[in-house]
Every structure is written in C-alpha cells, then in structure tokens.
Amino acid sequence: MAVAHAHEHDHPPVANQSSRVDSRLLGMYFFIASEVMLFGSFFTAYFFARVVVGGEGGWPPEGFELPVYLALLNTVILVTSSFTMHWALQAVKRGNRSGLVAGLTLTFLLGLTFLLIQAREYTRLGFAPYENAFGSTFYGLTGLHGAHVFVGLNLLLYALIRSVRGHFGPEPEKHLGVELPGIYWHFVDVMWIIVYVTVYVI
C-alpha cells in the first residue's frame, strides 16, 4: 500500500488540455487583460485630473495646445500598420513567404515612423511632464502607449527575422509566432485610437 501510494506521487499530475484555447494564446489574453488594467489606471488618472483640476479653467489649460493634426497623421499611420499586419498574416496562411516578409517589414517601418513622429512631437510641444497635471497625464498616457509601440516593434523585428529565415508556415501551429505579435499590435492600435480621441479630440 505504501509502495502504491509512493508510486502515485512520483511524478507531477498529467496536464489536461482542452481544444478550447491554446495555452500560449491564453497567456496572451492574460497579458492583454493586465495591459487593459494598466491603461485603465492611466485613463482614470487622466480623467480625474481633467475633471478635478481642469474643471474650471478648461482643458487643456490656457497656453497649452496639442498638435491634433500631427497626431491624426500618426493615427492614420498606425491604423495602416494594422492593415499591413493583417496582410502579413493572411500571406503566411496562404504560404506566401514574400508577402509575409513584406507585410512585416511595412508594419515595422510604419510603427517606427509613428514612434519617430511622436518623439519629434515631444520635442516641440513646449511643455514638460512636471509642469502641471495636464502635462503629467498627457506624457503619462502617450508615453505609456509609446513604450508599448516600442515593445511591439521589438516583437515585429523578431518575427521579421524569423520569417526571413523561413521559420513560419501556413499551418496554424507554425505561424503562432506571427499571430501573437499581430494580436498585440492590434491591441496597441486600439489603445492609440482611444488615447487619441480622449487626449487630442475631446
């Protein structure tokens, strides 16, 4: 009896897996859920500052102006990059390797352009994060998003290098390395749309 008992516990339990969701995708869901909460906290701070601090003096405060049209251009660039990302994934699903490489390259370049334009915008804004609540929340939100774009660029670069080396194929399990950065990239895109409308438009 003691031997049988010992035998039952001499290895970890066998992992049970349903076809409902792939564990790697599940990891990405949890990651995105945590990201939503992170952005949520920044948005909360932004709206808090806007309602409490900017309630009487208007928002943005007098003397502060945001380059709405430059940010709109950035929005168009980022939304376009979602199209090229989608194109890349459709290409790999059809076994079109050159389409995959072209799609990822374009997505990477568009993302890089977005980031460079944002950096340029920062240098010309004329106010700093430490000046007031408006500056803090503006740089906090857009900077947080910029950091995510930077992470996304790294993921895209990694996927691009792997695609050039021929690591991906049309079967679902062979292009998960493109699918996951794609989901992340679209998430970053959605977040920017919300940031743009919230911070620059309304």
Partner 1 sequence: MRNPFRTEAEAFSFVLVCVVLFALVAVAGIFGGGWVALGVFLVLGVGLALYVKSEPKTPEPAVWERGRADGRRRLLVVANETVAGRALREEVVRRAQGETDVLVVCPALNSQLRHWASDEDRAREIAQARLDESLAALADAGVDARGEVGDADPVQAIDDALRTFGADEIVISTHPPGRSNWLEKGVIARSRERYGCPLAHVVVDLEAERGGAAAANDAASGRSSV
Site membership for partner 1, residue 186 (CB under 8 A): yes
User: What are the Cα distances from residue 182, in Å, to 28, 63, 176?
Assistant: 11, 39, 9
- Nearer to partner 1 by C-beta: 36 or 164? 36
* Cα within 13 Å of Cα(46), Cβ side: 24
> Least CB distance from residue 166 to partner 1, whole Å?
20
- Binding partner 1 (rule: CB under 8 A), the pick from 67, 86, 117, 125 is 86
> Least CB distance from residue 160 to partner 1, whole Å?
16
Phi, psi of 139 (to 5 degrees): -65, -35
Given the rule CB under 8 A, which of 81-89, 96-104, 152-160, 163-171 is the region that contacts partner 1?
Answer: 81-89
Site membership for partner 1, residue 4 (CB under 8 A): no
Site membership for partner 1, residue 190 (CB under 8 A): yes
Site membership for partner 1, residue 80 (CB under 8 A): no
For the chain, the distance separating the N- and C-terminal CA atoms, rounded to the nearest angstrom, is 72
CA distance 157 to 112: 11
CA distance 110 to 82: 9
Site membership for partner 1, residue 142 (CB under 8 A): no
Q: Is the preceding peptide bond at 60 cis, omega within 30 degrees of 0?
A: yes
Site membership for partner 1, residue 141 (CB under 8 A): no
Q: How many chain residues are in contact with partner 1, going by CB under 8 A?
A: 30
> Least CB distance from residue 130 to partner 1, whole Å?
26
> Least CB distance from residue 200 to partner 1, whole Å?
9
CA distance 90 to 141: 32
- Binding partner 1 (rule: CB under 8 A), the pick from 49, 77, 85, 91 is 85
Site membership for partner 1, residue 97 (CB under 8 A): no
Residues within window 24-63 making contact with partner 1, judged by CB under 8 A: 25, 28-29, 32, 59
The residues that touch partner 1, with contacts defined as CB under 8 A, are 13, 16, 18-20, 25, 28-29, 32, 59, 79, 82, 85-86, 89, 178-179, 182-183, 186-187, 189-190, 193-194, 196-198, 201-202
